[in-house]
Amino acid sequence: MINKVVADADEAVRDIPDQAVLMLGGFGLCGIPENAIAALLRKGVKGLTCISNNAGVDDFGIGLMLKTRQVKKMISSYVGENAEFERQLLSGELEVELIPQGTLAERVRAGGAGIPAFFTPAGVGTEVAAGKETRDFDGKTYLMERWLRADFSLVKAWKGDTAGNLIYRGTARNFNPMMAAAGKVTIAEVEELVPVGQLDPNDIHTPGIYVHRIFQGRGYEKRIEQRTTRKS
Amino acid sequence: MLDKIGIAKRIAREVRDGMYINLGIGIPTLVANYIPSSINVVLQSENGLLGIGPFPTEAEVDPDLINAGKQTITMMPGSALFSSAESFAMIRSGKVDLTILGAMEVSEQGDIANWKVPGKMVKGMGGAMDLVASAKHIIVAMQHCSKDGASKLLPSCTLPITGLRCVKRIVSDMAVVDILPGGGFKLLERAPGVTVDDIKKATAGKLIVEGEIPEMTL
């Protein structure tokens, strides 16, 4: 089997240049590539375009890279929980493209599936449709949306093997599988890295063909945004 | 007039056995608390889960299990997990029977505005545009009027649109109304203590009143 293992996050992101287009998995702070983000902070790479459903919070996730002004543009569906984000947006330092969440997921999926465009009903008649082709199918109007692809995709999985096969856990799967497929170079970090043969092939969510580099992450914080509990 | 819990209780009466349901953030999330235990439904979370369970106990909290509002949750027996692409595939293809969401404005044509207020920081539409464009049945939970008394049920929306001609029913603090296929708000029920006249005054769009309008039961 091909061995995709790199030593750590710093080695994994070593060649990400300024102005790179990145995809980062996660929904809110759930399933985000914590270690790769920390390595990008250390590396200090700038002018990044980040495709990610959300933009983290002020002191965690992509929010950390906003604070250090490493992000030029965000492509997201919802960016609500971040004061520094708001400041940079209002001052014009940060460019933002907002995309309906299902359209974002499908544009990334299309990018990883070799499909340059597709038609969706989401956004018809809204400002999202501005400048886009529409077409009627069976009496309903649809909007043409293009694929999204990235120079580097940074994904987070629960378990992975040295061949790059990945298994996600819970709702931490979210955008990670599509982003893994849509990166020219895909970097996966996992909580548990095992030798080939230890994962049941029936259980694999992302086949190793999509993953170029894999490493075992360290010190996962897995921060919770809205800790909501019941008494008993 | 209904409070938020009253609106949630009234919407819970729309829920039928066997439905797959997506609940938006806010009042719609409360609806889950008032669905009778005799009715079996499956709640969909657009971040990749069918079968949302109750909030966890402190000991059950799992950072890998959240709902679309980023709250910690549990899973019901029989749950299924999937990616965001698959989640919106089942939404787009009409597999989700009922979508309940909030709105800032609804027009008498069924257009909905709920994602952007000019002059305020734009946070994004999240999954709202996908949901309203594809759901088989959409119920909107909303206040009939703004805090300064302006109607939110309008001839046409003034705020940026989330989706066109998609809302079928509104449950507000004052009334239950249906949006007719040819346009217009058809009054079905009054909230306790609210008169038809009150609702007429509070509805800027075309209100259709036929016969006696019953008071709603919760």
pLDDT in tens, B7-49: 999 999 999 999 999 999 889 999 999 999 999 999 999 999 9
Alpha-carbon span B166 to A61, nearest angstrom = 35
3-class SS of residue B4:
helix
Active site residues of B: 46
pLDDT category of residue B101 using cuts at 50, 70 and 90: very high
pLDDT at B118: 79
Q: Where are the domains of chain B?
A: 4-208
In this structure, what token pair is assigned to residue A58?
């002020």
Pick the CATH number of B4-208 from 1.10.3720.10, 3.30.420.40, 3.40.1080.10, 2.70.98.10: 3.40.1080.10
Query: Does A143 contact B at CB distance below 8 Å?
Result: no
Q: Do B81 and A229 touch (CB under 8 A)?
A: no
Per-window interface: A 164-223 vs B, CB < 8 A: 169-178, 222-223
pLDDT at A107: 98
Question: B63 to chain A: which residues are within 8 Å by CB?
Answer: 29-30, 172, 222-224
Q: Do B129 and A174 touch (CB under 8 A)?
A: no
Q: How many CB pairs under 8 A join A and B?
A: 170
Give the type of residue at A89: L
pLDDT at B88 over 90: yes
CA distance A5 to chain B (A): 24
Question: B80 to chain A: which residues are within 8 Å by CB?
Answer: none
pLDDT at B15: 97
Q: What does the DSSP assignment read for A187-198?
A: EEEEEEEE-TTS
Query: Does A224 contact B at CB distance below 8 Å?
Result: yes
Tell me the pLDDT tens digit for each residue of A93-148.
999 999 999 999 999 999 999 999 999 999 999 999 999 999 999 999 999 999 99
User: Which residues have C-beta within 8 Å of that of residue B181, sequence separation ≥ 6?
Assistant: none
From A28, A78, A128, residue closest to B66, measured CB to CB: A28
pLDDT at B134: 94
B179 vs B158, B182, B188, CA distance in Å? 18, 8, 10
Residue of B nearest to A53 (CA): B126
Q: Tally Cβ neighbours within 10 Å of residue B98.
A: 22
Question: A86 to chain B: which residues are within 8 Å by CB?
Answer: 121
Q: Work out the mean pLDDT of chain B and round it to a whole number.
A: 96
pLDDT at B188 over 80: yes
From B47, B55, B133, residue closest to A171, measured CB to CB: B47
Q: Do A224 and B63 touch (CB under 8 A)?
A: yes
> Which site among B25, B30, B45, B47 would you substitute to test the A interface, given the most A Cβ atoms closer than 10 Å to its Cβ?
B47
3-class SS of residue A153:
strand
pLDDT category of residue B122 using cuts at 50, 70 and 90: confident
Q: For each of the domains in chain A, give its residue range(s) and CATH number, in order of start.
A: 9-116+147-216 (3.40.1080.10)
pLDDT at A1: 80
In this structure, what token pair is assigned to residue B4?
């938020």
From A28, A103, A125, residue closest to B130, measured CB to CB: A103
pLDDT category of residue A89 using cuts at 50, 70 and 90: confident
The C-alpha angle with vertex B149 and arms to B145 and B151, in degrees rounded to 5, equals 40
pLDDT category of residue B117 using cuts at 50, 70 and 90: confident
pLDDT at B218 over 90: no
Q: Do B130 and A101 touch (CB under 8 A)?
A: yes
Could you give the dihedral angle defined by the CA atoms of residues A90, A92, A96 and A98, in that order, rounded to the nearest 10 degrees? 40
Q: Does ipTM come in above 0.95?
A: yes
- Gyration radius of chain A over CA positions: 18
